[in-house]
Amino acid sequence: MSRAMKGQMSIDYIIAIVIFFFFVVYFLWQVTNVIPRYLQQIEEQRIRSEAYQISELILNDAGQPNNWDQLAYSQIVRIGLSDHNIQKTNVINAAKAAALNTFCSTQGQQALRTMMRTDLQFSIFLVDRGDGTTYVTCSPASTVNRGFSATIKRVTAMDNNRFAELTVQTWRQ
């Protein structure tokens, strides 16, 4: 008859604890490697989503009030380039495009960011597809250290019977 002595461990028990310890360390190491990549992908999707939202707002919203292009800057709530009289999607009012370009050059891109309610940096370009005429160029003064950026390009019609390409690029500074 063998009696187990108190305070002694078998070699099987020690091996099991060592294997368990290495498994726990490996699991924690894997988790710490996966979570930052996952969070980065979430941020990239948010940047893409905001780029699309900004393009949608500019392209298919008339702004608030509808005649914002004829008002003082202090009276503008939201900027949109759609013509509320036409009542069609993806048709830009050329006068509003010119007003947006003037707004950007006089008030600055930061004022537009505040109006769009976004914390991301963004650039907006509206260029004629036929002759290359630039209708809107709105970009921050400094675009260094962008990191991840998302670009949305959309083809649209103008109310002057021309086609244009709207490009919206967003990034976190």
* pLDDT number for residue 56: 94
**How is 122-153 classified by DSSP, letter by letter?**
EEEEEEETTT--EEEEE--S---S--SEEEEE
Task: Convert the pLDDT of each residue in 36-72 to its tens digit.
Answer: 888 889 999 999 999 999 999 999 999 899 899 998 9
> What percent of the chain is modeled with pLDDT above 90?
53
The Cα-based distances of 151 to 52, 54, 137, 169, 170 in angstroms read 8, 11, 15, 4, 7
Higher confidence at residue 107 or residue 2? Answer: 107
Residue 101 pLDDT level (bands cut at 50, 70, 90): very high
DSSP strands (E only) in 2-159: 63-64, 78-79, 91-92, 121-128, 134-138, 149-158
Higher confidence at residue 111 or residue 145? Answer: 111
Segment 11-31 mean pLDDT: 91
* Rounded Cα distance, 104 and 107, in Å: 5
In the DSSP assignment, the letter for residue 82 is B
Q: At 108, which amino acid appears?
A: G
* pLDDT number for residue 7: 64
Structure tokens at 35: 């979570």
* pLDDT number for residue 144: 65
Domain boundaries, given as residue ranges, for the chain: 11-171
* pLDDT number for residue 1: 45
87: Cβ contacts below 8 Å, ≥ 6 apart: none
* pLDDT number for residue 55: 94
pLDDT exceeds cutoff 90 at 173: no
Mean pLDDT over each residue of the chain, to the nearest integer: 88
